[in-house]
Amino acid sequence: MSVRILYFAGLREAFGCPGENLDLPAAVSNVGALRALLVAQGRDLLASAKNLRCAVNQEMAAADTPVADGDEVAFFPPVTGG
Amino acid sequence: MSIRIQEADFDLAAELAELRAGDPRIGALTSFVGFVRDINDGNSVSEMMLEHYPGMCEKALAEIVSAAKARWEIVGVRVIHRVGRLQPGDQVVLVAVTSAHRGAAFAACEFIMDYLKTRAPFWKRETTPNGAHWVDARESDDSAATRWTPDGHRQ
């Protein structure tokens, strides 16, 4: 199972990339597990970032939101537009 | 409804004229325009960079406008949000609403702006004498969005 990860704002800047493609082990089936996997792979900021937000296929998501093959999963800080 | 995210500036008078053109049902038009301030939290700001999530941003704004249309009898809505590098004094955002009577237009305009601030994926990075940093979200923006009841009243 493969997903497209996107990072925005301070996360994009800190990681030095706008995103990455990731092959997921079968055990990783929701946002919370995916976040933990990325942290284990060295994306420490995903663990420490304050009020981290996540969207799956461009809809706001929670830790228990399912992640499936081909999904677009974005991580970003609280929004500050307007 | 018209929703645009763009780097270019916009002509406020032309946008408002176009929004109400040729529709005699319209008795009221309200608009909100946000600008880049030269001082934020005590620091002088020389530049503001606005980043967004293409695709999700347009969807989130469309959902916010739909929610406003479900609450109030409004005729038309125009939202323009700029991205990229902006300077103090520049226009950042326009929310304009038309309706038969002023109450709906005033309320819907404020509602859309309140939700845009907390739901639409934009991020600001400002440059001050201390360097560039990402702007933190304000709790007051969250409470502004949550004060609206489903039937269109403010708590």
CATH number where A68 lies: 3.10.20.30
Closest CA of chain B from A82, distance in Å? 5
Residue A71 included in any domain: yes
The residue in chain A having the minimum alpha-carbon distance to the alpha carbon of residue B79 is A82
Q: What pLDDT is stored for residue B143 in this prediction?
A: 83
Residue A81 included in any domain: no
Residue A82 included in any domain: no
Residue A21 included in any domain: yes
Tally of domains in chain A: 1
Residue A68 included in any domain: yes
Residue A63 included in any domain: yes
Amino acid A64 reads D
Domain that holds residue A23: 2-76
B34-56 residues labelled b (16+ CB within 10 A) or e (exposed): bebeeeeeeeebeebbbbbbeeb
Residue A66 included in any domain: yes
* Among A13, A74, A82, beta carbon nearest to B93: A82
Over pLDDT 70: what percentage of chain A?
100
Residue B21 CB burial class (10 angstroms; 0-12, 13-18, ≥19): exposed
CB atoms B120 and A81 under 8 Å: yes
Closest CA of chain A from B80, distance in Å? 10
Euclidean distance between CA atoms B152 and B155, whole angstroms: 10
pLDDT tens digits, one per residue of A28-68: 999 999 999 999 999 999 999 889 999 999 999 999 999 99
Q: What pLDDT is stored for residue A33 in this prediction?
A: 97
Question: What pTM, to 2 d.p., does this model score?
Answer: 0.93
